[in-house]
Structure 1
Amino acid sequence: MVQVSERRPVGRKKLAAILAAAVVLLSGCSPLDESELKRLALPIAGSDRSEPMWHLWLGAWITTLVVFVVVFALILYAPIRYRRRRGEEAGPSQIRYNLPIEVLYTITPVMIVSVFFFHTVQAQSTMLEDVENPDHTIEVVGSKWQWTFNYLEPEATDGETVYDQGDTEHLPDLYLPVNESVEFQLTSPDVIHSFWVPEFYFKMDVFPGSQDNSFTMTPNREGTFTGRCAEFCGIYHTRMLFNVHVVSRDEYDAHLEELEEAGQIGRPQGPSEATKIAGTPDDRGE
């Protein structure tokens, strides 16, 4: 009679130790770290709305890592644990129509998705919280294919509204004061665009017509960032870029005065101004 070697149980303690070490390693990451690896490929955070998005992103990484380790361990475990050994005439018995197992691999993904959904809604609610009486109000006009930023601060510019504007060849500039709340009012004269500054960990669609979106946030890190349109809006979508300058309050006020002196007074809404596209023979966007 041939004796079959005793099968050793899987190293659950080792697997748990690996998962615990990985979770501890990820928990040491930060959105403000200079290392891109420790920021988990995100840019350095630059607004007060970055924290809830960071926690959501970190949780997604931890969940993905746990699922990967468990699934990969099972892939390795199954052929080793149930390989045919010398003296055995057949492999392991096949399991089909096993109700508990079928319920397990049906319920588990539903639970994971439900947890993701819950935390996504929670982060979204936190990021969309309004600030009463924001320090500044800026109207963002997205059009084919450029951005216009109207600074609705008549008290800082002798009762006038000034604006920054550019096109696909000369990118517009958006100036924001650091550590002061800003309400962004988003509107479009043509198609759906999306206002996105990666360092703010936040974006919102810009709708045409009467449906205007708005949100409030506080930039909390000085620097120059690149904003962009995150919604495919036409052939020159990739050129819808703009520069974001987060500066001190004195620099912000000085910029508004420069716009007033340069004659950039008014509140452009896009249709008549959004006609220039760099690289075309007549520089018209028709």
Structure 2
Amino acid sequence: MKQRHIFGDLFALESIVAGVVFLIVSAIFGYAVVRRRAARRVTPSERAERPRLESYYVGVLAVFAVFLVGWTAWQNHREHETSPRPPVRVDVTARQWCWTFAYPQSAERRSVSGTCRGDDLPTLVVPTGRPVEIRLTSRDVIHSLWVPHLRYKMDAFPDHVNTFTLTLDREGRWVGKCAEFCGHLHYAMHFWIKAVSPEEYDRWLQQGSGQEAAV
């Protein structure tokens, strides 16, 4: 699960950096409080500015900011690297309040949908080990495709297509949700994403649209 691993690495590093900065600031603040407590009657400095100290402070902040921005951009590039293999394409359309998954590369241009009521959740079927290109759009308002297990989310806009590529390295089934408030049934706008072996995926893709239950 490339997206999941990249997100985990990025979150861990940024948490460590945030923790270090918090400890440094807390230590300086505590030192200032203890050193400048009223009982010691410390005379305030007559200097209004400390340009050298301030320049060091700004420089340290700039280094942290440049590092975090650069690291995040690099991880984002890793997450969206193009694969030399031709990807499997799935057209995902969000609507109030469910999803449609279309497979234009199949002979019958197979499409999977549902009502997102009770057990009638559509299933996004993908093969393991193959890059899958998701082309995401919306029929009405802004939605957001979110798979918590994969740590991945992307918005769906009307009259616009967002594209991303993912590769799942093991079989399984995980729940997906809409992460953008889109109306009174937003809370029920769920779907399944299911990864199967390439052979099973090819067999499923050649079946008729009424064979979704066989997945």
Q: TM-score of the superposition, structure 2-length normalised?
A: 0.82
Shift of 1:84: 6.2
Amino acid at match of 1:93: P
- Of residues 151, 160, 178, the one that matches 2:108 is 160
Structure 1: 5+ residue stretches without partners: 1-46, 265-286
Q: What is the distance in 1 between the residues matched to 2:82 and 2:182?
A: 28
Q: Partner of 2:50 in structure 1?
A: 98
Q: Partner of 1:178 in structure 2?
A: 128
Amino acid at match of 1:141: T
Instruction: Map 1:100-249 onto structure 2 (within 5 A).
Output: 100-154=52-106, 159-169=107-117, 170-209=120-159, 211-249=160-198
Matched-pair contact (CA < 8 Å) for 2:147–2:153:
yes
Matched-pair contact (CA < 8 Å) for 2:97–2:185:
yes
Q: What is the distance in 2 between the residues matched to 1:108 and 1:193?
A: 39
Amino acid at match of 1:68: F
Matched-pair contact (CA < 8 Å) for 2:110–2:209:
no
Matched-pair contact (CA < 8 Å) for 2:145–2:154:
yes
Matched-pair contact (CA < 8 Å) for 1:194–1:204:
yes
Matched-pair contact (CA < 8 Å) for 1:195–1:205:
yes
Shift of 1:72: 2.0
Q: Partner of 1:278 in structure 2?
A: none
Q: TM-score of the superposition, structure 1-length normalised?
A: 0.64
Q: What is the distance in 2 between the residues matched to 1:97 and 1:235?
A: 56
The structure with the greater share of residues assigned to helix is: 2
Shift of 1:244: 1.3
Shift of 1:198: 2.4
Count the aligned residue pairs.
209
> Relative to structure 1, is the Cα distance of residues 147 and 261 closer, same or farther in structure 2, using a 3 angstrom cutoff?
closer
> Relative to structure 1, is the Cα distance of residues 134 and 252 closer, same or farther in structure 2, using a 3 angstrom cutoff?
same
Shift of 1:219: 0.6
Q: Partner of 1:48 in structure 2?
A: 2
Q: What is the distance in 1 between the residues matched to 2:185 and 2:66?
A: 38
> Relative to structure 1, is the Cα distance of residues 100 and 216 closer, same or farther in structure 2, using a 3 angstrom cutoff?
same
Q: What is the distance in 2 between the residues matched to 1:75 and 1:81?
A: 10
Deviations 1:127-167 (A, max 9, x none): 2222244342111111121111112332xxxx212122122
Q: What is the distance in 1 between the residues matched to 2:211 and 2:17?
A: 54
Matched-pair contact (CA < 8 Å) for 2:127–2:198:
yes
> Relative to structure 1, is the Cα distance of residues 205 and 97 closer, same or farther in structure 2, using a 3 angstrom cutoff?
same
Shift of 1:115: 2.1
Amino acid at match of 1:73: A
Give percent identity, aligned residues only: 33
RMSD: 2.6
- Of residues 2, 5, 27, the one that matches 1:73 is 27
Matched-pair contact (CA < 8 Å) for 2:116–2:191:
no
Shift of 1:120: 1.7
